[in-house]
Structure 1
Amino acid sequence: MSRNAFTRNRAVAVGAALLITAGAAGVAVASGEDVTHPGRKVGGHAAAERAEPREAAALTGKAKLFRKTTEDVTFTFDAHLAARHNADPSKATGTFKFVHLEKPGGKGGWATGRIDCLLTGGKVASATGIITKTNIKEMNGSRVGFSVHDQGRNDRLGYSWAATGGPDGTKKLTKCNSAAPFEKVKKGTGDFHVTPWNPPYPEGD
């Protein structure tokens, strides 16, 4: 092959590559992808997501409580207050679960339910919910409360039945009401996360 023929073929190949690159960039732009950062979207839904305000408050995570006995006590939260409900903590949604066993894998009680109120201030959360499933019949349908102090893997937790020894089946507990977070989380068993709430303060004239 002559040098001129090689040069012409190389030019054609480079031109084709440029066309392919330009075509791919056109597709990326059409789909909203930032071609300088593959996978990053520009405009469209991504822009709307960036503009969307964060949720008003949240309490999430799972951890075991510290015990000097063989007891195995675990709490799990997935509670959220949407931005549109910032002024009404009773519009919170999500789930909770707690399990109290005499020893890991042993006998004990458990309950799961739906969150019906969530308040947070700084790294402290207070929430309540209705028990929807449990192996203790008397607790089903009752409201229970929880409190959490998010301290970065040294968290504390409280619950509405702290002074009574166990959930008493009451349905009259006030929403978002609980005991102070007096319990310690057992190190290495999990972590709770609290998203601070920004309450809508009244504004003067």
Structure 2
Amino acid sequence: MNRRTKIAALAAALLITAGAAGSAVASGDGKGAPREAAALTGSAELYRPAGDDITFTFDAHLAAKDRNDPLKATGTFRYSHYKDGKGGSATVEVDCLATGGKVATVTGVVVETDVPGLKDKRVGVSVHDDGKHDRLGYSWLASDPTKDEVPPCNSAAPYERVTPGTGDFHVLPWRFDYPTE
């Protein structure tokens, strides 16, 4: 082989090896364990020109072993909305997480709140993690969460803008096993 062919072959081999190593790390924890099936993490403030203080924080996960059942998701999310000294907040225990690409929908049951009638009710939130202009939507857009039941993994489309510089959402796309029969 001439020198150019040897260099090209060596470069190709190195690229293939690096790609395989990168795939192995991306698919797990780098130690052989599979990566989780889906996740939604991060926080942001919503943009409101009237000065509302609205924040959302997520720590929701679907374990690799539960990859085909989004109802086995775990974690919490929190949100608050205050303006002129009025408003409320809630802590939600996750009961469903579904992600696709850069979009996630998470639901859960309110376990702590200062909003009358909201405790033990299910709420849902959707997130679009586009890196620069994250968006968010919530199930109480068109309904009263203290009266209307929200089904698991349901929310409104992510229509709200987050305040520039505050969105650090990270959506890990869902990996599930397709049926073979």
Q: Which of 154, 158, 167 pairs up with 1:190? A: 167
Alpha-carbon contact 2:134-2:167 (below 8 Å) kept: no
Alpha-carbon contact 1:161-1:168 (below 8 Å) kept: no
Q: What is the alpha-carbon distance in structure 2 between the residues aligned to residue 63 and residue 169 of structure 1? A: 27
Q: Which of 167, 172, 180 pairs up with 2:145? A: 167
Give the structure-1-normalised TM-score.
0.71
Structure 2 counterpart SS, 1:202: coil
Q: What is the alpha-carbon distance in structure 2 between the residues aligned to residue 154 and residue 182 of structure 1? A: 11
Alignment correspondent of 2:48: 67
Residue 160 (structure 2) pairs with residue 178 (structure 1): no
1:202, distance to aligned residue in structure 2 (A): 1.5
Q: What is the alpha-carbon distance in structure 1 between the residues aligned to residue 88 and residue 176 of structure 2? A: 36
Alignment correspondent of 1:87: 68
Alignment correspondent of 1:136: 115
Choose between structure 1 and 2: higher strand proportion.
2
1:84, distance to aligned residue in structure 2 (A): 0.3
Residue 86 (structure 2) pairs with residue 107 (structure 1): yes
Q: Identify which of structures 1 and 2 has the higher relative contact order when contacts are C-alpha pairs closer than 8 Å and 6+ apart.
A: 2
Where structure 1 has 5 or more consecutive residues not aligned to the other structure, the ranges are 1-47
Alignment correspondent of 1:117: 96
Kindly provide the CA deviation profile for residues 156-203 of structure 1, in whole angstroms up to 9, marking residues without a partner as x: 101001113x53344x32110111010111101231110000222121
Alpha-carbon contact 1:140-1:169 (below 8 Å) kept: no
Alpha-carbon contact 1:146-1:158 (below 8 Å) kept: yes
Aligned residue type for 2:164: K
Alpha-carbon contact 2:39-2:173 (below 8 Å) kept: yes
Alignment correspondent of 1:11: none
Question: Cα RMSD between the aligned structures?
Answer: 1.7
Q: What is the alpha-carbon distance in structure 2 between the residues aligned to residue 57 and residue 167 of structure 1? A: 26
Q: What is the alpha-carbon distance in structure 2 between the residues aligned to residue 199 and residue 149 of structure 1? A: 20
Q: What is the alpha-carbon distance in structure 2 between the residues aligned to residue 112 and residue 169 of structure 1? A: 18
Question: Identity of aligned pairs, percent?
Answer: 56
1:107, distance to aligned residue in structure 2 (A): 2.5
How many residues are paired up? 154
Alpha-carbon contact 1:152-1:191 (below 8 Å) kept: yes
Choose between structure 1 and 2: higher helix proportion.
1
Aligned residue type for 2:43: K
Aligned residue type for 1:98: Y
Runs of 4+ in 1 over 4 A off after TM superposition: none
Q: What is the alpha-carbon distance in structure 2 between the residues aligned to residue 63 and residue 95 of structure 1? A: 15
Q: What is the alpha-carbon distance in structure 1 between the residues aligned to residue 134 and residue 102 of structure 2? A: 10
1:117, distance to aligned residue in structure 2 (A): 0.3
